[in-house]
Structure formats: structure tokens, C-alpha cells
Structure 1
Amino acid sequence: MAHLPCHRCRTRSDPAGRGVRHRPAGQPVAWENDGQRDNRNRAPGRVAKAPEGAGPAAVFARRLWELKQRAGDPSYDSMRKDHGALASKSALSAAARGAQLPSWETTWEFVRSLAVGVLGQDEQRVHATWRQRWDQAAAAVLAQAAPVERPPAAPWIRRRKWWLLGAVAAIVIGVLLVTASRSRPEHPTPTTIAEPCEATWLCLYRNTGFDDMNFRTQRQNMCWRLADYHLQDAVFSYDNNLPITAHFYDSAKNRVGDIRAGDSSPDSSALPGAFWFCTGSARP
């Protein structure tokens, strides 16, 4: 028996390639996966692509892009509003494009919002890993910026140049001799309590006690190149077991005691009077 055509139905093709659907005239089309569209906040048709290039900035940006994909590719608005990235949309977007290496501050906000905020990874480990990657990329970018060779100057220009350099050197030596002859204090007073630690690329901590035989600390100011030492907040835990000694000082900067990696105080409490310490021999 032949089927008569349905004059009350209309045919419409899904532009996304989902086939043909029939509906009665005057009723809206309801596609089966309307509620399953990914990333509604993203403009239709715009798919972020991985940065191309073999330069250090592009390679680093590709790692950021891959992290964003693993986190579900949220929009930059979502990274800021939902996951707490403290950077502008333009800065976050530029970080993943690879035209230039982003600042460490922008990098950390990009990584923290995704690796910690979305994927739930340990913040200290993420910080150490990505800081090391950023330092390596920054060093590679600087290594690429080689000076351009200039053509040799004329002989008379070279002679004049050497004469000027000699005169400048004589003046500099005279200034240094005069400066050296003046008396200086044997131990200059640091401008901040963190300055000695900064000078030796170490980290300043504040003593907050012991917890399960692990030394608990609170970082003060900045931790300079912390990732290079693979340190975490529990810097003297048995897991780290670093061959260094912490020198403790009270609030008046008087030395009150030492402790080596893996050690603890007799009663697992803060050393009496201990207030500051550095992860090395620098005195605050």
C-alpha cells in the first residue's frame, strides 16, 4: 500500500549535521541533544586552537592551552568569575596564544584557576612545577635575544673610542678609591627583614609550630626561586629531608636555636622564642 505524503508536516535539516527531522506545521523543532551542547558561554563557531611554533614562548603557551583543555576548556570569563583567576581576560587570552611569554603573575593566575580550582590538584606542587617551567622558558627567551653584530667602525673612530674608554676608566677608578677610603659599618642594616634571604635566593618563613613531626611554617613576603629548591611549606618534613639547617631568631633578631631537616623539637612544639628563620645561613 502506497504511503500518502504528509501535508501537515515540514522537513528541516539540522545545520550541525544531525540529520532530518519532521514536525507538524506551526510547532517548534526540538533537537534531541539541545540540552547537551558544550560550553554555552562560548561564541558559536569559535574553537580555540593550540598555539603553533617551536619557540619557548609558543611551547609554554601550548602547555597552558593543554591544561585548559584538560580542565574542560572554560571561557576566560568563567576562569575569572567562577574559578578566581585574578587577571584580565585579555591577559589570560594572550598567555595561551604564545606571541610572547606571559609574566609569572599572569601565568600563576591562569594555572591556579584551572589546575587547582577546576582539577583539584595540590596548590604547592602545582606552584613549584609551573614556576620551574616558567623559569626555564624565560631563560630560553633571553637566550634567543642574541645581540646583532654591527659592521666594524673606521680606524679613526676605533682610536677615539679607546681614548674615551680610557678616560672613563680613569675616572671610575678614582671614584672607587675615594669611596673605599671612607669608613663603612661592618654589618650594614638591611632595609627589610627579608633582604638577607633575598640576597641568597632563599626563602623567609615564620615559625608556626610542629604538626605530626613535620615543621609547619607560614611564608612571609615573597619566596625567591622557591621551585629551584623543590621546597614546600613543610620544609623540614621527612618527605623533603633536605641537607640544610634552619637558624631561628626571635623578634629582636637574636639567635635562639637551630634545627636540621627531619628533626623536631623535643615536644613537637615551636622552639621557645623562635619567630623567624631562613632556609639557609642568612640572618634576618
Structure 2
Amino acid sequence: MLASVALAAGGTVATATPASAAQACPADNLCLYASTGFNNMGLRTVKTSECFQLAFYNLIDGDGILSYRNNLSVKAVLWHTSNVNLEWVADGTISAGSFSSNTSGNFSDAVLVCTGGRSPYWSQA
């Protein structure tokens, strides 16, 4: 009987959710993923007035951000620098409460994401 209980427990472990399953984004978090379908989470934050360099979260190699979920109460703006004068250029906005399971590489140039109206020009005091 003990062997059948152990076998049943082992069977449960063997049928656990595969690693490629979508990764949940908790409430009050911004989650950015390097793969479509909410897979390969790179950045997860609760900060509502901060900028993050995407290179630190493995989100600039390849196609960049390929899916996202914004459970924050504020928007997030993606930025890159222009080749001409190195000024910051906005790539797009991720509205509060929005999500996309496939961005089609729309944010492939982004190197920075800022939440809550923060911008790359806002100096830290």
C-alpha cells in the first residue's frame, strides 16, 4: 500500500506543469518577458516611479520584449537613444492594466523602461 501511495505521489510530480508554461505576473507588478506567451520573464517590478535598464534583465538581446503584463496602476514607457544626437526617444507605452502575449517585436529597440511618468531625463536626487 505504501508503494502505491509513493507511486501516486511520484505520478503527480511527473505531471507537474512544464517549465515552458506561461509565468504568472502577480497583482501590482509590471512583468516583461523575453518570449511570447508570457514565457521567460526578464523583469518583474512593483515600483511605480522608476527606470530600469533592460540589459540587466536580458531583454535587449534578440527581439527584446516579446510579451508583457502591466498589473500596476501606472503606465510604463519604453525608450531608446537616437543614433544621431543620443537623445532619448519613446518606443511606446504599456498602459496600466494592459497585456500582450505577442508584441511582434514592436519594442525591439528599447533599452530602458520607466514607470509612472518617470523619464530618462528625470535625475535622481
Q: Give TM class, smaller chain.
A: 0.3 to 0.5
With normalisation by structure 1, the TM-score equals: 0.18
TM-score, scaled relative to structure 2: 0.35
Would you tell me which structure has more helix in proportion to its own residues? 1
Question: Which entry has the higher C-alpha Rg, 1 or 2?
Answer: 1
Higher strand share: 2
Greater RCO, 1 or 2 (C-alpha within 8 Å, sep 6+): 2
